[in-house]
A = this chain, B = another copy of it.
Amino acid sequence: MAVRAELLKNIWSVEPYVPGEQPQEKVVKLNTNENPYPPAPGVQEALASLDPADFRLYPDPASGVLVKALAENYKVSEDQIFVGVGSDDVLALCFLTFFNSGKPILFPDITYSFYKVWADLYRIPYECPELDKDFRIVKEDYYRQNGGIIFPNPNAPTAIYEELDFIEDVLEHNRDSIVIVDEAYVDFAGRSAMELVGKYDNLIVTQTFSKARSMAGMRIGYAVSDPDLIRCLNDVKYSFNSYTMSRAALVCGAAAVKDRDYLEETVRKIKETRERTKKELAELGFEFTDSKANFLFARHPEHDAGQLFEELKKANIYVRHWKDEKISQYLRITIGTDEEMDELFDFLRKRLS
């Protein structure tokens, strides 16, 4: 049965987004910036501690156990933390809650592709200042009237990290706008803007459990900000969906936060592999930005990125490639284990020699 045309005419029709492939067979999976290492050992214990009999009850709508663990970790008060189903959920709710002035919000032309989607979804006008020729955000482009500002730091997929004085400059020039710094990859980079939260009441910092904390499969993200802004987020969230975080996510998430040593060790290993990857790819003639994330944004001046992408895929090595003209000659390569990267280098050495 096919639905009749009369029915389809009032349906919101969208360009379907194609997420990075999640192959079921065994491949070298360097395409969705996942962490190659398992989550903290405490997550196993947390999982084992779950009593399925409790699943009959709704989860705590305030996500107390996870909020408390995050507040203790960052030495902020619990009313400065908001949690959601991945940072996508948190960011979409921030768009809905904070970007209501009617003035265009600002984000870079090359950045996380969902910003545009959420702006369209909530009918928020936006303008996208271009990155400079080195793929850097030009902060002065954000010194003008706007309805809010958002950018990732490090930016994606460029992998470039800006220091906190850059963030402060943007905040200082936008005291009456909400500025969201999306720090999905900050653990691999440098200082977090979270330390500026007490100083600027217009700052919201978001992070995720999907990258450094190895919990992409459990869908956990969070925002840290002024208690007044967090209250606004909670009001909007409660007003249309009270229970989003499952009992399993809350308990496993809290366990992951508590093991700071494990996080540091995991991040250290990934950064070492990243720096080694830079050397290997440079020797092979690749050019890339100075990544401070868990991926490289790389091109080869003599080889078409789309073709390399397809050949890698045939060899069961998955990386990411976009057809968007501005970045179509680049590959985004997640940093995996040393062994995974060796498979990539081996393939490329043979292919490019």
Q: Which residues of A contact B (CB under 8 A)?
A: 1-4, 6-19, 22, 29, 32, 34-39, 43-44, 47, 50, 52-61, 85-86, 88-89, 92, 96-101, 114, 117-118, 121, 147-148, 175-176, 178, 198, 201-202, 210, 214-219, 226-229, 232, 234-236, 238-249, 252
Contact = CB atoms under 8 A, between A and B. Distances in A.
The 4 A-B residue pairs with the shortest CB-CB distance in the complex, in nearest-first order: A3-B228, A38-B53, A10-B101, A19-B242
B117 A19 contact: no
Nearest to A147: B10
A47 B50 contact: yes
A246 B85 CA distance: 9
A214 B11 contact: no
Contacts of A7: 176, 178, 201-202, 229
B53 A3 contact: no
Nearest to A96: B12
B19 A38 contact: no
Main DSSP-derived SS at the A contact region: loop
Contacts of A229: 3, 7, 11
A245 B219 CA distance: 7
Given A43-B52, A244-B85, A232 B11 contact: yes
A20 to B, nearest CB: 8
14 contacts: A8-B232, A10-B178, A11-B229, A11-B232, A12-B96, A12-B232, A16-B239, A19-B238, A39-B55, A47-B248, A59-B217, A88-B240, A218-B246, A218-B248
A52 B34 contact: no
Contacts of A14: 235-236, 239
Contacts of A147: 10
A52 B47 contact: yes
B17 A240 contact: yes
Nearest to A114: B240
Contact of A55 (B6, B235, B252): B252
A52 to B, nearest CB: 5
